[in-house]
Structure 1
Amino acid sequence: MSRQSARGAEWDAQRLRVLERDGWVCTSCGSWLEADHPQAQHDATVDHIEPVVRNVGKVYSDSELVAMCRRCNGTKSDRPLVRVTWWDAEIFPNGLPC
């Protein structure tokens, strides 16, 4: 995590906690996440389970955030998160293809 976000050190620390808690795996598609490749398809992002536009100004706890790849995060946009938990890590060790 060499990039520092404009959101500050507190967000950077929270983001890292969430990514580590979720095992650096996208909670939507199961892909392994990369730390510092903003153009990568599976760049690591942290997303809000409930969209920010519905909760402007709210401070989010770690339990309200999930690890997500850039592609899934962009696809989700401002809709609530629907978790996909049917994939099996033993069958798809590198995650589901996006």
Structure 2
Amino acid sequence: MPFMADTISVSELKQTLDQFVVIDVREQDELANGTIDGSTHMPLGLAIRNVKQGKIDDLKEKKICTFCASGYRANIAANELASAGFNVKNLEGGFMAWQKA
């Protein structure tokens, strides 16, 4: 079980959405279910490669929120980002919780 990254609730993210760079780590085919407005699509594998290769280091100055369908993959991504020095939170309950709110 991976370390649990810091989380943010759906209600908290909705109130502060403009303060975050939101990264959707779901796969391309999952986007048909919708996404969070303004989010950046970066599937989990690509997100991990981008972190390891320093391709998104410019985001270290920003607050990041990761999400997937339920939160599991986004937690993995958030751990990678946090380990590399990013200020990141994982959306509690993922996109399923976002849609229900």
Q: What is the TM-score of this pair, normalised by structure 2?
A: 0.26
Who wins on radius of gyration, i.e. which is larger?
1
Structure with a larger share of its residues in strand: 2
Higher relative contact order (CA 8 A, sep 6+): 2
Q: What is the TM-score of this pair, normalised by structure 1?
A: 0.26
Structure with a larger share of its residues in helix: 2
